[in-house]
Amino acid sequence: MNIKEIHDTARSLVKGTCRVCPVCDGRACAGEVPGMGGAGSGASFRNNIAALAALRLTPRLIHSVRQPRTETWILGIPLALPLIVGPIGGISFNLGGAVSEEAYQRAVVDGAVQAGIIAALPDAVVKEVMRIGLECARRQGGRGIPFIKPWEPEPFEEKMDMVAEAGCSVVGSDLDSIGLITLSRMGHPVYPKSPRDLEGMADMAHKRSLKFLIKGIMAAEDARICLEAGVDGIVVSNHGGRVLDHVAGTAEVLPSVVSAVKGRMAILVDGGIRSGVDLLKMLALGADAVMIGRPYSVAAIGGGAEGVVLCTDIYREQLAQAMVMTGCPDVAQAGRHLLHQR
């Protein structure tokens, strides 16, 4: 199996709900929500891609780096490289039932574990989506990071109990999902949270011995509020450009977030990351790890767990090569010095 075969198989299964483009940049699927596109004109999706493309690495070839260290730890979780599979669910809803929810999540969770990384698990109005993901994680010793929608306190706590029972060590909430039209259309909209609400959510997690992440941070001030609320980590994210048109790319806002909270909480980022080179750029801007969503959906649909492993291997090879070419011996030592300063 190779990446072309995986893409060809996925393309035949998704039947146009995703074009499986050579470059996943949101141009062909603009406005297709439900689907895999970005909201409105698709500008936010494209801005993620453009912000990363605008960054330039500086080759440094006089050094002794031959086998750079890609391994790291995030919130107590060991990773073969600083990469987590993004939480994408509702496959029947967004991709026309290309594969079953169970087959998809099993491929993602099992493939991630086999590749030495971890998958984030989705939540949805349909409770079965989270139950399936948690069962997949349970079979892997709790190796998965569930993201619970920012529901009202009672259903949120109910799902927090499910996470703890599955043996997971980290849980998150994708606050950026408040803009999802799919939730509103299904009669279950979610709303913004106050700083006090965040404190309560973090406290629920900590009482169950879980680390707590908030996803959807795009402003330094919101990052500081999360820190003050006791949140253990954040994901800089605009939900893949799927919730608000004309939003900045995540690589544009990441530096200000890093300046606000770096060293005091874990910082993850997603949005438009399509290669190991992109991954290194995000590390150079100060992220501790990245999350990648859409490319892994294609890999899982077209190749199952094996496709997820192959996709991860490609990212790791690209990352290692980029580290050698920039003289970076360890992902922990990636920084702004790797980027060309214009």
Share of the chain above pLDDT 90, in %: 87
Higher-confidence residue of 35 and 291: namely 291
Return all residues near 340 (Cβ < 8 A) that are at least 6 apart: 56, 57, 58
Q: Please state whether beta strands 77-79 and 72-74 pair in parallel, antiparallel, or not at all (unpaired).
A: antiparallel
Of the CA atoms within 13 Å of residue 6, those in its CB half-sphere come to: 20
Residues 236 and 198: their CA atoms lie apart, in Å, by 16
Q: 243-277 burial string, b = 16+ CB within 10 Å, else e?
A: bbbebbbbbbbbeebbebbeeebbbbbbbbbbbbb
Question: What confidence category does residue 340 fall into, taking pLDDT thresholds of 50, 70 and 90?
Answer: very high
Which of 58-62, 124-128, 142-146, 250-254 has the least mean pLDDT? 124-128
Residues 175 and 188: their CA atoms lie apart, in Å, by 14
Instruction: Kindly report whether the peptide bond that precedes residue 295 is cis, defined as omega within 30 degrees of 0.
Output: no
Phi/psi-derived region of residue 194, left when phi > 0, alpha when psi is between -120 and 50, beta in every other case: beta
pLDDT in tens, 23-60: 999 999 999 988 899 999 999 999 999 999 999 999 99
- 28: tokens are 């062909």
Beta-bridged to residue 291, according to DSSP, are: 84
pTM, full prediction: 0.96
Q: pLDDT value at position 102? A: 94
Q: pLDDT value at position 180? A: 73
Residues 191 and 301: their CA atoms lie apart, in Å, by 31
The single-letter code of the amino acid at 234 is I
Q: pLDDT value at position 90? A: 78
Mean pLDDT of 215-226: 98
Q: pLDDT value at position 132? A: 96
> Is residue 336's pLDDT more than 70?
yes
Which of 1-15, 149-163, 171-185, 195-209 has the least mean pLDDT? 171-185
Q: For the chain, what is the mean pLDDT?
A: 95
Share of the chain above pLDDT 70, in %: 98
Q: pLDDT value at position 182? A: 67
Question: What confidence category does residue 93 fall into, taking pLDDT thresholds of 50, 70 and 90?
Answer: confident
Residues 219/260, Cβ–Cβ less than 8 Å: no
Question: What confidence category does residue 266 fall into, taking pLDDT thresholds of 50, 70 and 90?
Answer: very high
> Is residue 305's pLDDT more than 90?
yes
Radius of gyration (Cα) for the chain, nearest Å?
A: 19
- 188: tokens are 């279950």
Question: What confidence category does residue 16 fall into, taking pLDDT thresholds of 50, 70 and 90?
Answer: confident
Give all domains of the chain, ordered by start, each with its CATH number: 72-329 (3.20.20.70)
Residues 178 and 327: their CA atoms lie apart, in Å, by 41
Q: pLDDT value at position 170? A: 98
Q: How many helical (H) and strand (E) elements, i.e. helices and strands, does the chain have?
A: 12, 10
